[in-house]
Amino acid sequence: MTIALIGFAILLLLIVVARVPIAFAMGIVGFFGFAILQGLTFDNLFDFRWRGALALASNRVIDTAQEYGLSVIPLFILMGNLVTKSGLSQELYRASYAFLGHRRGGLSMATVVACGGFSAICGSSLATSATMAKVAMPQMRKYGYADELATASIAAGGTLGILIPPSVILVIYGLLTETSIRELFAAGFIPGILGILLYLAAVRYVVWRNPEAGPRGEKLSWAERLQALKGVWGVLTLFFIVMGGIYVGIFTPTEAAGVGAGGAFVIALLKRSLTPGSLFLALSDTGRTTAMLFSVLIGALIFSDFINRAGMPDDLLAFVQGLEMGPMGVILVILGIYIVLGMVFESLSMMLLTVPIFFPLVQSMGFDLVWFGILVVVVTEISLITPPVGLNVFVLSAVLRDINPGTIFKGVTPFWCADIVRLALIAVFTPIALFLPELLYR
């Protein structure tokens, strides 16, 4: 336990103080920590016991590169990039505005719904925030929306991308914990819809307190609303084919990702929005993002091996049992730790640092790892919009240079409060997350 805690402290110093990329920091600490546990000291650097640590690292690199299930990551990323190039963000926003824009705060509501739909295909919270800022912000300013509400609805809506399937974060969690990815996808659907509804309630609360923050827009006829839906039918059909195929067992997640990437390519061609240049950008961005995620995942797995070899999960379980705290009390403590860490770490780093430590403890207490995964992702969503390190907020501030982060953080408060409510509901009422997995697969 002591060696594991020292390793964790060194890891935090490397990331926070030395600014070492998290992939390399976790790999370095995991490698040397495992070697020290094997009995290696600095007096015998050429000892044969290096072989254990070297075998660990090399096997993790080879096994991860050859893991068939991991091919889902680049395929879903490619699907999101191709859909983005097809101009989906504008069409989703136009369709959402057609039905919600005439209400008070309706443009913000339309932004939340469009962000939910776009992030479900794109799978990236940061990409959703950056893209929707360019689409929705000019319209909300046109109708006199307060900057706080306008930017907050974009920042909060963007967080939905890591929960509503297909989600790369859920894929990584499933690989770290050896949990069924299709069950995680099924479990994320209802909490994702609940998140949209609670964000809409947050918008209603803001305009109830200050009606001038979100004036009404134009009311469109039903003919115009139906016309607006025509622009999104292709992508919505693709989404239902991909996710429906996973849910009913026609596709594995990997096969569905291939179908999604191929379908997105066809849609982009039909819309005549794909040029050789944009295709190259989509492919190169997919390659860069995939390489980054694979590097981080390999580092996390090496660090996880060190933590397990040091016996930290067993010692942590014994420590918790000595506190005479109930299982739900332990979950509340873990969630509290996540909320605090979310103020310092970005979402993926936080998850990769903590899941290897917490999931054996949660599993040993008899909790469902699918349910715990949804809790982790919802807490991760909160970290994207809470100060001082809310990545979605800073992405928006970079895109909208005339708005400072303080304005966005102030406006986003009702939204992360809504996330806290959602987190509490999922923690207390487990069927919110487990209803679909139990209905479809158990």
Q: Which residue reads 């479900």 in tokens? A: 120
The answer to whether the CB of 401 falls within 8 A of the CB of 163 is no
pLDDT tens profile 315-337 = 766 776 676 777 888 888 888 88
Local confidence band at 198 (pLDDT 50, 70, 90 cut-offs): very high
User: How many Å is the Cα radius of gyration of the chain?
Assistant: 22
pLDDT tens profile 366-384 = 889 999 999 998 988 887 7
Which residue has better confidence, 69 or 410? 410
Least confident segment among 24-33, 43-52, 156-165, 261-270: 43-52
Considering the chain, what is the average pLDDT of its residues? 80
- As given in the structure block, the two tokens for residue 31 are 């490698």
Nearest Cα residue to 193 out of 429, 433, 371: 433
Which residue has better confidence, 262 or 127? 262
How far is the CA of 103 from the CAs of 146, 157, 282, in angstroms?
A: 15, 18, 37
Exposed, middle or buried: residue 442 (CB in 10 Å: 0-12, 13-18, 19+)?
exposed
pLDDT tens profile 37-63 = 776 555 555 555 566 777 777 887 887
**Both ends of the chain: CA-CA distance in Å?**
36
pLDDT tens profile 379-404 = 888 877 877 667 777 777 777 777 88
Local confidence band at 70 (pLDDT 50, 70, 90 cut-offs): confident
Local confidence band at 118 (pLDDT 50, 70, 90 cut-offs): confident
pLDDT of residue 126: 67
Tell me how many degrees the CA angle 343-378-243 measures, rounded to the nearest 5.
Answer: 140
pLDDT of residue 263: 84
Share of the chain above pLDDT 90, in %: 9
Share of the chain above pLDDT 70, in %: 90
How far is the CA of 427 from the CAs of 330, 372, 384, in angstroms?
A: 12, 9, 20
Least confident segment among 62-76, 140-154, 166-180: 62-76
Measure the CA–CA gap between 412 and 405, rounded to whole angstroms: 10
The answer to whether the CB of 161 falls within 8 A of the CB of 77 is no
pLDDT above 80: residue 202: yes
Nearest Cα residue to 173 out of 160, 161, 185: 185
The answer to whether the CB of 307 falls within 8 A of the CB of 353 is no
As a whole number, mean pLDDT of residues 302-306 equals 80
The answer to whether the CB of 357 falls within 8 A of the CB of 313 is yes
The answer to whether the CB of 220 falls within 8 A of the CB of 103 is no
pTM, entire model: 0.78
